[in-house]
A and B are shown apart, each in its own frame.
Chain A
Amino acid sequence: MAHRRTLCTQCDDVLDVASDAKSVNCPHCNTRVVTEPLDVSEYVAVRRFATANRMHITKKGKVFASVRADDLHVEGFLHGDAVSLTRLRLSKTAHVTGNVRAAFLSLEPGATLVGEVRIGPSEVPELGRLAPPGRSASSEG
């Protein structure tokens, strides 16, 4: 069974999870961590909405939460802070209000973004934990 490395969304410690695992228990902080890719096409209003995988807020998605994902793609509405360990992509229909932090930002003309922005590999120090010593952490998006 294929495994992949990711980070706990709570304590940022390294997790080795099966590629098809939907959730795991972090052995370090004992938190249940969602590890499956999420496609959000509905209304979601929570305090924190996180996955240790990719997250896609579709055109119909409306999220009122702080979100965190390994890779985040927004086509719909997001009101809250957003953290992406690798890429944050805002399509032309995206409407994001909140502070964002990501290693890379890709923003299409037409997207709306209002908030504090911190973009760059150095702005996501957690990414360094994923790389084995001597290898770049940002080689894969």
Chain B
Amino acid sequence: MPDPTSGKDEYSTIIGADAQFKGDLTFQGGVRIDGQLEGTVHTTGRILVNKGGKLKAEVKAGSIAVEGQVDGNLHADDRIELRATAQLRGDLKAAKLLVVEGATFIGRCEVGTPSPGSGTASPSGDSRPAGAAAASQAPRPVAAMPAR
């Protein structure tokens, strides 16, 4: 019975560990990157940047998993996973994000945001603007007063 997690079944394209590529890549299926890549990568499928992989690229994919080094912006339609050995320097935008402890991430993050214009509406429907609340409200009692 084939192993559903094997790289061969999930990733139709594999960029090997000794490969260095510079340019724009477009795929239809999954891509596993074990080597070095510079440029842009587009796919509707899944991208895995393996432990030894080094990416200096703009990445746009269905879903992205990072175990290696990425210097560039990631944009996923579904989800982005930063695993324990991931090092990401760049912006990140996805519907869902999974970050495992140990991952390094420096950049801007936009995850799980609803449609533009909903702003910072609170879950309970409080319509008080955040800026006004912070400037004018005295704190209600909590477990301990904050240090001033």
Using known A-B contacts A62-B126, A104-B102, A119-B104, determine if residue A110 contacts B144 with beta carbons closer than 8 Å: no
Which stretch (A12-20, A42-50, A128-136) binds chain B? A42-50
Q: Is the CB of B120 within 8 A of A97?
A: yes
A105 to B146, CA, bound (A): 24
A79's partner among B130, B142, B148 (CB-CB below 8 A) is: B130
Contact residues of A: prevailing secondary structure: strand
- Least CB distance from B74 to A in Å reads 12
Q: Is the CB of A109 within 8 A of B139?
A: no
Using known A-B contacts A32-B148, A62-B126, determine if residue A43 contacts B140 with beta carbons closer than 8 Å: yes
By a CB distance below 8 angstroms, the chain B residues around A9 are 147
By a CB distance below 8 angstroms, the chain B residues around A122 are 104
Count of interface residues, chain B, beta-carbon cutoff 8 Å = 39
A113 to B147, CA, bound (A): 26
Q: Is the CB of B108 within 8 A of A117?
A: yes
B96's partner among A22, A23, A109 (CB-CB below 8 A) is: A109
Q: Which of A1-45 contact B (CB under 8 A)?
A: 9-10, 22-23, 31-34, 36-40, 42-45
Q: Is the CB of B120 within 8 A of A50?
A: no
Count of interface residues, chain A, beta-carbon cutoff 8 Å = 53
By a CB distance below 8 angstroms, the chain B residues around A80 are 134
A122 to B7, CA, bound (A): 33
CB-based nearest A residue for B93: A114
Q: Is the CB of A105 within 8 A of B101?
A: yes
Q: Is the CB of B144 within 8 A of A23?
A: yes
Proximity string of chain B (7-29) to chain A, C-beta cutoff 8 Å, 1 when within and 0 when not = 00000000000000000000000
Which stretch (B36-44, B53-61, B110-118) binds chain A? B110-118
A-B contact count, CB below 8 Å?
130
Using known A-B contacts A34-B145, A45-B134, A64-B133, determine if residue A109 contacts B98 with beta carbons closer than 8 Å: yes
By a CB distance below 8 angstroms, the chain B residues around A77 are 122-123
Q: Is the CB of B120 within 8 A of A46?
A: no
Q: Is the CB of A87 within 8 A of B122?
A: no
A43 to B99, CA, bound (A): 28
By a CB distance below 8 angstroms, the chain B residues around A32 are 147-148
Residues in B lying within 8 Å of A, measured CB to CB? 79, 87, 92, 96-113, 120, 122-124, 126, 130, 133-134, 137, 139-140, 142-148
Given contacts A34-B145, A107-B111, 7 further A-B contacts (CB under 8 A): A22-B144, A34-B146, A39-B143, A40-B143, A114-B109, A114-B110, A118-B106
Residues in A lying within 8 Å of B, measured CB to CB? 9-10, 22-23, 31-34, 36-40, 42-51, 62, 64-65, 76-77, 79-80, 87, 93, 95, 97, 104-120, 122-123
